[in-house]
């Protein structure tokens, strides 16, 4: 009997070195298990925003191409696709034997497409991809590794906006679910690093060059709102995603995925006036 894992491999193998094919494969997932679900389609925008950013930078290009992609990003992206297609196979009655543990969260989303379930499925797969590919992350340069950590921080925070508004926005908690709802097109704001990163890979300039460029919404969000919540965010996410190893990716309040904790400076820049104001307006809830 065909298993869901076999089914997923048959979907992924032909597009492994085809970035556009990977995008098309993700698009198909949002038709629901039978390809005709209006309930799943509104979530496709957020999923594609994340993947299209990877495609624009060339992160998913074949390693053998003239412009090689990132082995790390390709691995994380493949885990996301694999979980989704395994869950789709199970939803269509295939044997779940051999499926990943995180595909269960994707199955929950298929069966009940809510914002909370979407974030849990997406982030469970992303975190699993991070953990699976830690060794590859170590091969990326310092600038790339900083932004790999920043992407993780922001997707965890976007999940908290929907599922733990008090953690995410303190006294402004009533605003949080709409800000984070992936169906409303706001999720792209949390990956707005695409505005300061060139569409090239790898990044060759010094990290500080890119940090200095981000003085607007991104700096306000990262330094004014998320940074004071690092510890609570990683603790909460580890519980929500059922992945205790996530706690080890934040050490001494420094995002530490393939990142030395002694290199603290980029994570604690001088707050802008707006970031300082944000810390006062939305202090961390105790």
Share of the chain above pLDDT 70, in %: 91
Parse the chain into domains and list their residue ranges.
Answer: 1-139, 147-286
**CB-based contacts of 214: which residues, under 8 Å, 6+ apart?**
193, 195, 196, 222
pLDDT value at 142 more than 60? yes
Report CA 216 to chain centroid distance, whole Å: 21
The span from the CA of 233 to the CA of 266, in Å, is 19
Closest-CA residue to 90 (of 124, 82, 241): 82
Mean pLDDT, to the nearest integer, of 155-165? 95
Q: In 3D, which of 19, 43, 15, 21 has the Cα closest to residue 30?
A: 43
Overall average pLDDT of the 241-257 stretch? 97
> CA-CA distance, 147 to 152, in Å (whole number)?
8
Contact assessment for residue 3 and residue 94, using Cβ atoms and an 8 Å cutoff:
yes
The whole-number average pLDDT for the span 96-104 is 95
pLDDT surpassing 60 at residue 192: no
Strand partners, 250: 255
CA distance 47 to 176: 19
Rounded to 5°, the CA angle 191-192-197 comes to: 105
pLDDT digits 0-9 by tens, 193-220: 656 677 789 988 788 887 777 666 667 7
Q: What per-residue confidence (pLDDT) applies to 196? A: 61
Given a contact cutoff of 8 angstroms between Cβ atoms, the answer to whether 46 and 29 are in contact is no
CB atoms within 10 A of CB 33: 18
Query: Nearest to residue 85, comparing CAs of 115, 61, 77?
Result: 77
Mean pLDDT, the chain, whole residue set: 89
Least confident residue range of 16-30, 33-47, 131-145, 153-167: 33-47
Q: Is pLDDT at 185 greater than 70 in this prediction?
A: no
In this prediction, residue 62 carries a pLDDT of 97
Other C-beta atoms lying within 10 Å of the C-beta of residue 36: 9
pLDDT tens per residue across span 222-236? 878 899 999 999 999
CA neighbor of 90 nearest in space, from 101, 74, 80:
101
Checking if the pLDDT of 170 tops 90, the result is yes
Rounded to the nearest angstrom, the gap between the alpha carbon of residue 52 and the centroid of all alpha carbons in its chain is: 13
The one-character DSSP state at 255 is E
Annotate 106-135 with b (16+ C-beta within 10 A) or e (fewer). Answer: bbbbbeebbbbbbbbbbbbbbbbbbbebee
The DSSP code for 195 is G
């Amino acid at each position: 009997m065909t298993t869901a894992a076999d089914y997923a491999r048959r979907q992924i193998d032909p597009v492994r070195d085809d970035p556009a094919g990977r995008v098309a494969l993700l698009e198909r997932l949002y038709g629901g298990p039978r390809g005709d679900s209006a309930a799943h389609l509104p979530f496709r925008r957020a999923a594609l925003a994340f993947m299209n950013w990877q495609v624009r930078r060339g992160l998913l290009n074949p390693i053998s191409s003239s412009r090689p992609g990132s082995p790390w990003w390709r691995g994380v992206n493949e885990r996301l696709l694999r979980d989704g297609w395994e869950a789709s196979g199970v939803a269509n009655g295939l044997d779940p034997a051999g499926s990943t543990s995180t595909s269960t969260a994707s199955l929950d989303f298929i069966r009940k497409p809510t914002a909370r379930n979407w974030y849990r499925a997406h982030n469970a797969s992303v975190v699993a991809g991070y953990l699976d590919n830690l060794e590859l992350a170590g091969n990326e340069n310092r600038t790339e590794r900083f932004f790999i950590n920043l992407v993780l921080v922001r997707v965890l925070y976007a999940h908290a906006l929907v599922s733990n508004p008090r953690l995410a926005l303190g006294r402004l908690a009533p605003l949080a679910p709409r800000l984070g709802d992936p169906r409303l097109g706001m999720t792209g704001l949390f990956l707005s690093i695409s505005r300061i990163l060139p569409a090239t890979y790898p990044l060759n300039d010094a990290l500080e060059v890119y940090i200095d460029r981000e003085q607007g919404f991104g700096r306000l969000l990262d330094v004014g709102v998320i940074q004071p919540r690092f510890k609570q965010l990683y603790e909460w996410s580890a519980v929500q995603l059922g992945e205790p190893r996530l706690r080890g990716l934040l050490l001494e309040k420094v995002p530490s995925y393939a990142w030395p904790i002694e290199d603290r400076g980029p994570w604690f820049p001088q707050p802008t006036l707006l970031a300082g104001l944000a810390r006062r307006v939305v202090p961390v809830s105790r």
